[in-house]
């Protein structure tokens, strides 16, 4: 996927990664509620150094 993400979005992802680091895990579960709908998202991070 070729997509440009906003700087704010990239900072939010970095915050999630920091939470994972602090909790010694590689994933985070997120839950969003929109009116009567619930969206559950699991993000798993994989770090690769160049």
> Per-residue confidence of the chain (50 residues) as pLDDT tens digits?
789 999 999 999 999 999 999 999 999 999 999 999 999 999 999 878 87
Rounded to an integer, what distance in angstroms lies between the CA atom of residue 9 and that of residue 29?
17
pLDDT of residue 47: 78
pTM for this prediction: 0.71
pLDDT of residue 30: 96
pLDDT of residue 19: 92
Residue labelled with tokens 């985070």: 28
Whether the Cβ atoms of residue 27 and residue 13 lie closer than 8 Å to each other: no
């Amino acid at each position: 996927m070729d997509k440009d993400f906003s700087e704010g979005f990239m900072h939010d992802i970095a915050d999630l990664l920091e939470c994972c680091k602090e909790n010694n895990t590689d994933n985070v579960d997120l839950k969003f509620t929109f009116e009567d709908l619930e969206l559950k998202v699991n993000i798993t991070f994989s770090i690769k150094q160049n």
